[in-house]
Amino acid sequence: MATARLSSNKVVIVGAGPAGIRCAETLLAAGLKPILIDENRRDGGQIYRRQPEGFTRDYATLYGTEAAKARNLHESFDRLRGSIDYRPDTLVWNLTPGQLCCVSQGKHSTVDYDAFILCTGATDRLMPIEGWQLAGTYSLGGAQIALKSQAVSIGHSVVFMGSGPLLYLVASQYVKAGAKVAAVLDTSPLSKRILAMPKLLARPGLLFTGMKLLAQLYQAKIPVHLGIKPQQVLGDAASGVSGVRVSTARGETLTINCDAVALGYHLRPETQLADLAGCRLRFDEASSQWLLAVDEDGRTSVSGVYAAGDGSKIRGADAAEHAGRLVAMALLEDLHQSVNAGLRDEQRHALAVMDQFRLGLAQAFPWPSAQAKALPDTAIVCRCEMISAGELRRTVSEKGACEVNRAKAFSRVGMGRCQGRYCSQAGAEVIAAAAGVSVQQVGRQRGQAPVKPLSILTEEVSP
């Protein structure tokens, strides 16, 4: 990996979640005052998202099993906030060498940098299901934001469907908040978890926490079904979601009435800014997705660009804190400043253990690529542009578009407001199945600016 050659110490951190806060804390302790740019209005990222000012729910109610960690991170940020340049409610939507393009409340600005550290986190990884375009269908992250930011449930009766730890965490948070959870439907069978147990035992405490979440759901008499196959989100365009239909592990058809569905299959890293910076990405076989290529301390392939947390590798909030400290030390070393070698080795060791657990999670709760092949032609893949699986398959069969960006040009899949953040990975799976090639061969959708939708205020010009 490249080593930064910096003429000054203007350092920008993008993201104020666990990785960004620990990174800023470490740099500040070494005498560097970073600029911390946060897309959210308050610190904490997604996992430890703070409730708006004036809301008074306690930590246990808001964060459940993660309450102590959330409080600790928030208190750490409160201690350092006055000593850093913190810029909340600011989206970095593009970049050029040495400069970030930002927008805050409709006003555009630029921020110069000598080095910047991407702590952009992750977002939901979604696999389409027929009917998921209906009103009342949310991602797991979206359901969690509604609960944390506004203290509301996404519906009167909610089904949680997908796979991975976030499925159980958000469902349990809804139960704890008093919302009605109609069912938890997991595509992963119990056998996968048993086979993954040796890797999951790398972090027995976290494994036990996951078991406790599942036990809490059973105790609350929430129906939990493992090894299901999603069939359809039921409802209509006028009324939205009315239920879901799945096949059980026994092959029986199960229909559950609800007025909202939360979907999610683990997470995918937010790599668009890194892509725009020219950083190399690599295909990760375990999770079957493209990740940012970094060295063990967080250096990317581009000099002066670093990354930490789930934006580079999905290992969770605890790992993000370690990675945030470690990437700060990497930057300090590149600035020829001494670092605590013992502390650096501790972070490296902790992350190695957590990476083993990550591999266990990928084995226990696999990405359901087979679902893409089984999607009916009428199922919508890209909700922004309303592109169906059949349309995408025809770009392969009729136009020979076996690469994701070429398929995008022909079909408009991934051209909408989300810029492919929610549909590109599932779309790649549909293309791979139709073309009879691996999803790695299909490639990845290239990042485009703006990386997220933005609004810019314009001044009225008199004639």
In this structure, are 391 and 318 located in the same domain?
A: no
End-of-domain residue from the set 361, 389, 411: 361
Residues 1-29 have a mean pLDDT of 82
In this structure, are 113 and 41 located in the same domain?
A: yes
Dihedral angle over CA of 42, 46, 48, 49, nearest 10:
30
Residue 276 pLDDT more than 90? yes
End-of-domain residue from the set 321, 342, 361: 361
Centre a 10 Å sphere on the Cβ of residue 436 and count the other Cβ atoms it contains: 9
**Residues 133, 156: Cα–Cα separation, whole Å:** 19
In this structure, are 45 and 65 located in the same domain?
A: yes
Return the ∠ at Cα 75 (arms to 69 and 77), rounded to 5°: 105
Over residues 129-176, the pLDDT tens digits come to 999 999 999 999 999 999 988 889 999 999 999 999 999 999 999 998
Q: Name the band, by pLDDT with cuts 50, 70 and 90, for residue 55.
A: confident
Pick the closest to residue 130 from 429, 420, 370, 380 (CA basis): 380
Strand partners, 183: 159
**Residues 315, 357: Cα–Cα separation, whole Å:** 8
Residue 6 pLDDT more than 90? no
19 with 316: CB under 8 angstroms? no
> Going by C-beta distance under 8 Å and a sequence separation of 6 or more, which residues neighbour residue 91?
39, 102, 103, 104, 452, 454
Kindly report the CATH number assigned to the domain that includes residue 423: 1.10.10.1100
End-of-domain residue from the set 225, 249, 265: 265
Q: Let me know if residue 450 belongs to a domain.
A: no
Check residue 177 and report its DSSP letter: H
Residues 372-388 have a mean pLDDT of 95
Percent of the chain residues past pLDDT 90, beyond the cut: 85
**Residues 45, 16: Cα–Cα separation, whole Å:** 6
Q: Let me know if residue 404 belongs to a domain.
A: yes
Residue 188 has what pLDDT? 97
Fill in the amino acid letter for 304: G
Helix or strand holding residue 430 (H, E):
helix 424-435
Kindly report the CATH number assigned to the domain that includes residue 337: 3.50.50.60
Give the structural domain span for 160: 126-265
In this structure, are 218 and 274 located in the same domain?
A: no
Pick the closest to residue 315 from 324, 306, 305 (CA basis): 324
In this structure, are 337 and 420 located in the same domain?
A: no
How many domains, in total, are found in the chain? Answer: 3
Q: Let me know if residue 26 belongs to a domain.
A: yes
pTM over 0.75: yes
Residue 134, phi then psi, degrees to nearest 5: -70, 145
